[in-house]
Chain A
């Protein structure tokens, strides 16, 4: 099946710095990618929908200036957490949809972010 890879799988950063998480579709082109956030023992919360070549669509309550999303190619989307704070510590998951396949969505393995 299709593979979505996230990097890094774990990252620790200092408060006030920025950190970038990459999401790649390894063997298919993804016109649409999604970024989720998951707190411990809680469900996945959709943060934003990222379309190649256009601005991301953010869900209500998600600060777009804090969570910068770039989808520069059909195989790569990045999430940059700017001026990170400890409350941004979470598990971030991306997923990618194969174009024209309805809702066939493949998930990355997730990235643990710890802000100290």
Chain B
């Protein structure tokens, strides 16, 4: 069965510091990985997906099949990045979510 693990429940960083959110997955097939973000009082929205290999709002994530990881990184965190971040594994039409990591960027 598929599983997504986000080991950190809370990450607190200062503005301008790098931030890395860890995500590990287990799935026997070919994975499709996503990062979703939920800002305060807003709905969940897609941040990026591994097949796009793009940078959104300065965030990047690389799929490492050897380590079964899809860590999210941003070199210089901004206060507006404070939010809840969820890593998700797509299998067929389904999404399996990790437990989420709350990011708090302090001024």
CB–CB B43/A110 < 8 A: yes
* A43, B44: Cα distance in complex, Å: 12
Per-position 1/0 for B68-99, Cβ under 8 A of A: 00000000000000000010001001111111
* A104 CB contacts on chain B under 8 angstroms: 46
Supposing A32-B93, A93-B44, A109-B43 touch, asked if A43 and B34 sit within 8 A by C-beta, the answer is no
If over half of A's interface residues share one DSSP class (helix, strand or loop), that class is named, otherwise mixed; here it is strand
Chain B residue nearest in CB terms to A1: B45
Distance A85 CA – B77 CA, assembled complex (angstroms): 43
Asked if B62 is at the interface (CB within 8 A of a chain A CB), the reply is: no
The verdict on A46 contacting B99 (CB below 8 Å), with A107-B44, A108-B43 known, is no
Is B20 on the interface with A (CB-CB < 8 A)? no
B95 contacts A105, CB within 8 Å? yes
Which A residues, 1 to 59, have Cβ-Cβ distances below 8 Å to chain B? 4, 32, 34, 42-46, 49
Task: Find chain A residues with CB under 8 A from B96 CB.
Answer: 46
Chain B's interface size range is 10 to 19
The answer to whether B94 and A46 touch across the interface, beta carbons within 8 angstroms, is yes
Which A91-110 residues have a C-beta within 8 angstroms of B?
Answer: 93, 95, 97, 103-105, 107-110
User: Which applies to chain B's interface (DSSP): helix, strand, loop or mixed?
Assistant: strand
Which A residues touch B43, using CB under 8 A? 4, 107-110
Which residues of B lie under 8 Å from residue A108 when comparing CB positions?
43
Bound CA span A46–B86, Å: 14
Pair A49/B94 contact, Cβ less than 8 Å: yes
Rounded to whole angstroms, the CA-CA distance of A34 and B97 in the bound complex is 13
Give the docked Cα–Cα distance between A43 and B86 (Å): 8
18 A-B pairs (CB sep. < 8 Å): A4-B43, A32-B93, A43-B86, A43-B97, A43-B99, A49-B94, A103-B32, A103-B34, A103-B49, A103-B90, A103-B93, A104-B46, A105-B46, A107-B36, A107-B43, A107-B44, A108-B43, A110-B43
- By a beta-carbon cutoff of 8 Å, the part of chain A in contact with chain B is 4, 32, 34, 42-46, 49, 93, 95, 97, 103-105, 107-110
